[in-house]
Every structure is written in C-alpha cells, then in structure tokens.
Amino acid sequence: MNRYFGFCLSIFFLWACNPSASEKTAVNPADETKYHEQYRPQFHFSPPQQWMNDPNGLVYFDGEYHLFYQHYPDSNVWGPMHWGHAISTDLVHWENLPIALYPDSAGYIFSGSAVVDHQNTSGFGEGNQPPLIAMYTIHDPIREQAGHNDWESQGIAYSNDRGRTWTKYSGNPVIPNPGNERDFRDPKVRWDEGSNQWIVVLAVQDHVAFWGSPDLKSWQHLSDWGTGIGAHGGVWECPDLFPLKYPGSDVTKWVLIVNINPGGPNGGSGSQYFIGEFDGMEFKMDDNLANQVSDGQGIWLDYGKDDYAGVTWADAPLPPERRLWIGWMSNWEYATVVPTTAWRSACTLPRELTLFQTDLGYRLASHPVQALQQLRQDSRLIDAAVIDGSLDLGKIPSTFELELELTLPDEGNFSVGLLLENENMESYRIGYSSENNRFYSDRTQAGDHRFSDLFAEGLHTAPRLSTNRQLKIHAYFDVASVELFADDGTTVMTEIYFPTSPFNHLKLQAEGIPVNLNSATIYTLHSIW
C-alpha cells in the first residue's frame, strides 16, 4: 500500500478535497477530440484525461451500463480518489459524464459497487423510481498518516436521476472500521433472494468478510472466509460474489472473485476466484478445489499481467448462465509510470463469464461481449496452410481482431504463435508451447520498457486447460494491448506493451514441428472515439 503514503499530507488533502479545485479540471463531456494520442486505446474505455484505476459501481439501469472508476482528475498518477463516470448503451461506445463522487473531509472515495434498490429498502427513492445506491470505501488519509489502524470504513450515496448526481448519506459510515483493520475495503453489494437481504462482501487484508443488511444502512457481520486459502502473495482487494448457472443444467454455483496485489500469476496484481456455495451467511468452497488452492495456489481469471480489480455488473440483462465483468488493464507494479501522459490506463474489454467443467471441478471462461462485433470494418480471410517456420500474413492495422484455428501435432515438442513487428525492429509474440502445455506472452522486445524493471522481465505464461487438438485463438489488439481468449475463453491473457511505432506486420510462427493452420480471419476494427 506504499502508493497511498505519498498522498497523505493533510494540507494537500484539504486542497484536493475542495470540489471547486477538482471541478476546474472535471471532464467536459463535449471534449472528445483527445482520444488519438500515442498508445491511446481505440476500442477500450480509457478516461478522457488523467489517472484511472479500478472499475467501480458497475450497474445497469434504464438502458444504461454505468461504469464508475477510481479517478484522480488533477494528475496522471494515483492521488485523492474520486469516482469518474461513463455510461454506455451497448458496452462498446462510452459517453463520459462529470465526476460522480468527490473526496471530502471524511476521506477519499475508494472502490465499491452500485445497485438498483428496486424495493426502495433504503427509503432514498422518490416517486415510483427505485434509487441507485453506491457503496464505497471511505479512506481517511489523515487518520492513516496519524498512525491509526482504522482509516477505512464503508459509506453509501444515492441517486434519483439515473446516476447523474449523487448525495452522500448523512449517516455515513454505514459500516465503521472494527477498530484495527488496516485494509477494510471495496464493498461489493448484492440483493440476496435466498436470505431476503442485502449482502456485501468486503476485502479485509487476507480474507473476505460478508455482512448483511435489510436497508443498506444498518449492517451486521455474517462471516469471514479465506485466510490461508488460495493465493496470499499480497493483500486481498476488490472481491465479488454472485451465483452462476451451469449451462444446460439446474446447477447454480456461487463464484467468489478476489483480486490480489501483489501475488498475481505472473507477478504483481491478479484476479483469482473460488467456486462453491453461499447460503446467505457463509461461503463454502467446493471440496474438489481444496487441494488446488492450498499452498498459496490461486485459480486465475486471467493469466496476463494486465487485468486487475475486475468485478461484475449488477442487474445486467443477461440469463443466469452469464455474468458481465470488466477489469482494469494495468498492474500496480508499473501502472503509475507507463509511458502515457494525457491519461493513464484503460479498462479491459467487457466480458461475459460462464461456467465450464474440468476434471478438477468448475472453472470460469471469459468471452468478449458479442456487441463488439459491430466494430468489424472489413475482414481478411487467410487460407489453410502449413506453418513451417514462418508464415507471413502481411500488413495489419493497429486495431484488429483475429480468429484463428490450428490443428496441433499429436506428439513432439513445438511452439506456435503470432509475431507482431514494426519498422523499429520491435516485436511482440504470443502463442502456445507444447513443452509445458502453456500459452506464452513475450513483450521483452515489444518497445519501450525503460520505465520499469518489472515490465519486460521475461515470458508470462498460462496453462492450457483444453485437451482438444484443435486450438482456437481469439484475440483483440488495440494499439498497445492484447487480450487473448484461447480455446473458447478457457485460458485468458491480457497484456499491454508500448511499441515506439505501431506494430504493422503479422507472421505466424511454428518451431519444432510444422503446425496446420485451418483458418484465420483478421478484422480491422473501427475506433469508438
């Protein structure tokens, strides 16, 4: 939590918490001209300017997907946290709205969630419209600096105008710090039909805590879970809890997502998850997962280095087999020093999570939302071929989507993958190696990495779970990022990179043994800005 300490000077805090100071730099929604700087993603959400980290307050209401986010409008590094705000009707195009929540004398507005209070249990509703309620962590930097251990508590705010303006509840905090929990944050709240109450899951250093409430204002501690289970290389942050139906069955499992920093699968930040049952009081992990998450092992939603703090949308109009999710496309190891200046960092693509089964138990697959297909501008089909060494696929645009199917050799050691290149002799590789049955991402030669020793320190890898000889690659490249959804999203890797000129050439490469390419399609994608 070192990044917090630099911002704790109270004089600075008081200045920054003055809404008029922040409002001066607040987003002007009409100003959309600035989305074409070097490295600026063209079909991912990124803030119009300055710093962003976690997605917050994800809720669907009245035809709009709300995306709030951790935001510091006065600098391109982390600082006193606000909730920035954008909305979308299709999860592809985003409209920037003014900042939703400002820090105040109680503290910064840390991560949290939002819900539609359909039954107006909170009493904040007006007329017939249910209010939107945001629940967030109040992080008090003055108490932190003064050496206390209780600087984080939970507050709520409500909106009766479709999320455009928010009023903080006068009775905050609704969940005070128990007294000595240094990390006590990131409330993710949901209505639990089984127990007929609101349930919030909080990250409390090395475990999660479940609390229950009839009205979002008075809360009661229900249970704790997670100490000694799963990955614990860092502090637990940004949890989520939701039911998910197994397709084609009556089985509904509960998914508990726990983000962790550091301690991720390839270093730094990462998103792990657990699958089991929740009875309105306690989470119980499936028995067959127990030995897989002992000894500090995690099961990861995304094995790339740049997918963190992911959580899901409340009330998204989806069947119970699918859950809508988005993450922050960066890593605390280097997020504040990546070579962008006008803005820093972006969200991942919105994804739908589904359950699938393996010999080891249930797992989550991730699928980019279908609505992204509207961005396809033109497509290029590549004929079936044998990849023997290198197969040149020619020029590529800086924003494209690739679908590709290979037939893997029966035996022997080989690796097969994509190679992106530019004129400056920089290259990025992503693919699969049979030797360890893992996917790899190699950004060691992919451009600027002087800003951090941890950025290009080696290969990043992910296990292949599918045993199918047909290997399907579905990947999105957006100027300075890649998202790989391999084997129908059963292995996912998200990585960023900073080529000094855009990658504009693509090759397929097979080493060891020739590999059959069955088909490939490259789609040029439109910019959303």
Residue in 50, 70, 121, 336 binding ligand FRU, rule: CB under 6 A: 70
Check residue 271 for interaction with ligand FRU (CB under 6 A): no
Please report whether residue 53 would count as binding ligand FRU according to CB under 6 A: yes
- Asked if 81 interacts with ligand FRU (CB under 6 A), we say yes
Minimal distance, residue 81 CB to ligand FRU, in Å: 5
Q: How far is the CB of 308 from ligand FRU (least distance, A)?
A: 6
Residue for token pair 């893992």 = 438
Separation CA 412–CA 134 (nearest Å): 54
DSSP 126: B
Find the shortest distance in angstroms from Cβ 232 to ligand FRU: 15
Take residue 159 and report the two structure tokens written for it.
């909106």
Interaction between residue 110 and ligand FRU (CB under 6 A): yes
- One residue of 50, 88, 137, 427 binding ligand FRU per CB under 6 A: 137
CB 465 within 8 A of CB 363: yes
Residue 260 or 517: the one with the smaller Cβ distance to ligand FRU is 260
**139 to 105, 177, 386: CA distances (angstroms):** 10, 10, 57
Measured distance CA(395)–CA(199) in Å, rounded: 51
When the beta carbons of 205 and 466 are compared against ligand FRU, the nearer one is 205
Among the listed residues 54, 307, 315, 442, the single catalytic one is 54
Q: How far apart are CA 461 and CA 464, in angstroms?
A: 10
- The question of whether 117 is a catalytic residue gets the answer no
Among 144, 237, 306, 487, binds ligand FRU (CB under 6 A): 237
DSSP E strand stretches across 279-344: 283-285, 308-312, 323-328, 343-344
Q: How many residues bind ligand FRU (CB under 6 A)?
A: 12
Least Å from the CB of residue 142 to ligand FRU: 16
Residue with tokens 């579905």: 474
Q: Is 72 one of the binding residues for ligand FRU (CB under 6 A)? A: no
Q: How far is the CB of 17 from ligand FRU (least distance, A)?
A: 15
Q: Pick the closest to residue 163 from 238, 98, 108 (CA basis).
A: 98
Residue 52 or 349 having the CB closest to ligand FRU? 52
Q: Which is nearer to ligand FRU, 134 or 238 (CB)?
A: 238
Percentage helix, strand, coil, to 5, in the chain? 5, 50, 45
151 touches 203 (CB < 8 A): no
Nearest to 333 by CA among 418, 432, 460: 460
Tokens at residue 302, please?
A: 């995304």
DSSP 104: B
Closest approach of ligand FRU to the CB of residue 345, in Å: 11
Does 483 interact with ligand FRU (rule: CB under 6 A)? no
Q: Contact 90/122 with Cβ under 8 angstroms?
A: no
Query: 242-261: which residues touch ligand FRU (CB under 6 A)?
Result: none
Q: Does 422 bind ligand FRU (CB under 6 A)?
A: no
* Contact pattern for ligand FRU over residues 298 through 317, marking x by CB under 6 A: -----------x--------
Run of H or E including 404:
strand 399-407
Identify residues 377-416 at the interface with ligand FRU (CB under 6 A): none
CB 416 within 8 A of CB 492: no
Binding site for ligand FRU (CB under 6 A): 53-54, 70, 81, 110-111, 137, 185-186, 237-238, 309
Task: Give the residue numbers marked as catalytic.
Answer: 54
